[in-house]
Each structure stands twice: as C-alpha cells, then as structure tokens.
Amino acid sequence: MSLLTALLILGGLALVFGGLLGFAAVRFKVQSDPLVEQIDDILPQTQCGQCGYPGCRPYAEAIANGDDINKCPPGGDSTIRKLADLMGVEAKPLNAAQTVAIKRVAYIREDECIGCTKCIQACPVDAIVGASKLMHTVIVDECTGCDLCVEPCPVDCIDMLPVTPTPERWKWDLKAIPITQVE
C-alpha cells in the first residue's frame, strides 16, 4: 500500500512539474539566442565584414556557434578581451595582420565623383548621400570607417582619412608630461 502511495505521489509530482515546465517552455519562449545578443553588443557594429561574415550580427551568431573570437579588426584587443570573458575562452591575438589603430572615416573627393551610386549601395549604414549622376558625400558622423565603399568606387575618389581631434574628444597625452615608466 505504502509503495503504491509513494509511486502515486512521485508520479503525480512528475506530472505536475512536467506540466509546469512544458507550460513555461511555451509561455516564456525566447525567440533568439540571448548569447548572440550579448556578443552582438560587444562587437563594434561597423558592419565592415572583415571577419568574413556580412555584418556584425552574423559574426555574433558564428561566434555563438563556435567560431574564433579574433576576427574583428575594428574592435581590436579590447573587444577580443571582452569576448573571451563572455565566452570563457582564452583571449587570442588578432587574426588579421594589420590592426586598425587610428579611427578613420570615408571622405569623397567631390569634384572627382561621377555619381555612379556604387558606394551608396555598398555602405552598410546608409551614411552616403547622393543620387545617380549627382555628387555623393559622406555623413561623417554616421560613417563607421568600414572601408566597404572604397573598393566599389570606379574612379577611386574615396579616401579614408583619420578623424580630426577636437578639444572635447582629446585624450590627455601622457607623453607631453615628463613621466618615465618604472620597470
């Protein structure tokens, strides 16, 4: 008798919890992988495609599925460190040979632009304005410096220029102050 009661109780509990879990799975279903969101937040969102994926989100998905974390040159070492922390893996040096040290934005030499709209189609963040057979120009504040517009330009009139510093964005230069590093 007692055996039957125990079985009934346990079976009942199993049913109740199973039901609860089943309900929760339907009711609180998460559409996307939260890990992808977290990785995407860390990536610099330049949408440059230097990692080999079309944009930052696809790369985030790839990382979540086990791709290397060191394929993002615009993010640099700090991004790799953050990704390593998040994913619980060792931080690796950047894969690409060259690192983007200075922040750059695209600049169109306007008198040479022939108005072909190829750069507009290439820009991942719609930061180039212009129309067919009319001059194009870059909205500097929106440019992420991804270089994607440089290649399609048939007349090579797009330069990547370093961002000019302003007093507000100026970083105190330690080298201007007499400091010696103690070993």
Partner 1 sequence: MPSLFQQIQAGKLWDFHGGVHPPTRKAQTAQKPIGVLPLPDRLYIPLRQHIGVAGHVLVSKGQRVLKGQPLTSADNSMAVPVHAPTSGTVMAIAEHTSAHPSALPEITITLVPDGLDEWRSRYPLNLATSDKLSLLERIQESGIAGMGGAGFPAHLKAGLTQPVDYLIINAVECEPYITADDALIQEGAITIVKGIDILCKLLNPKAVLIGIEDDKPIASAALKAACSQREHYYVRDVPTKYPSGGEKQLIQLLTNKEVPAGRRPIDIGIVMLNVGTAFAVAQAVLDDQPLLSRIVTVTGETLSQPQNVLALIGTPVSDLLTFCGYQQQTAGKVIMGGPMMGFTLPDLTVPIIKTTNCILAPSQYELPQPGNELDCIRCSACADACPASLLPQQLLWYSKAKDPAKLDEYNLFDCIECGACAYVCPSEIPLVQYYRVAKAEIREQQREAVKAEQAKARFEARNARLEREKQQRMARNQQLAQAREQAQKTGSNSNAVADALARIKAKKAEQPAPATNREQVLAEREAKKQQAREYQAAKAAANQQPDSVSETAKQEQAVSSEPTVNESATVEPANAKSAAVAAAIARAKAKKAAQAQAEQQETIVEAEQTKQPEAIEQSSPQAATDPRKAAIAAAIARAKAKKQADSEKS
| Residue from 91, 88, 56, 61 nearest 72 by CA | 56
182 part of the interface to partner 1, by CB under 8 A = yes
DSSP 93-136: --SSSS---S-EEEEE-TTT-----HHHHH-TT--EE--TTS--
Q: Compare residues 9 and 33 and give the one whose CB is closer to partner 1.
A: 33
Among 38, 45, 95, 117, binds partner 1 (CB under 8 A): 45
Q: Compare residues 43 and 69 and give the one whose CB is closer to partner 1.
A: 43
Bridge partners (DSSP) of residue 159 are 107
3 part of the interface to partner 1, by CB under 8 A = no
Collapsing DSSP to helix, strand or coil, 2 comes out as helix
Distance CA(123)–CA(138), nearest Å, equals 10
| Residue from 41, 44, 65, 36 nearest 146 by CA | 44
CB of 170 to partner 1, least distance (A): 4
Q: Compare residues 11 and 54 and give the one whose CB is closer to partner 1.
A: 54
66 part of the interface to partner 1, by CB under 8 A = no
31 part of the interface to partner 1, by CB under 8 A = no
90 part of the interface to partner 1, by CB under 8 A = no
Cα distances (Å, whole numbers) of residue 107 to 1, 4, 110, 127, 155:
85, 81, 9, 11, 14
CB of 90 to partner 1, least distance (A): 18
Among 10, 21, 155, 163, binds partner 1 (CB under 8 A): 155
Residue 158, Cβ density class (10 Å: 0-12 exposed, 13-18 middle, ≥19 buried): buried
Among 66, 88, 93, 178, binds partner 1 (CB under 8 A): 178
Instruction: Considering only residues 93 through 132, tell me which ones interact with partner 1, judged by CB under 8 A.
Output: 111-112, 114, 124-127
Collapsing DSSP to helix, strand or coil, 160 comes out as strand
Q: Compare residues 28 and 170 and give the one whose CB is closer to partner 1.
A: 170
Q: What does the binding site for partner 1 look like in residue numbers (CB under 8 A)? A: 40, 43-47, 55-56, 111-112, 114, 124-127, 142, 144, 154-157, 165-167, 169-172, 174, 177-182
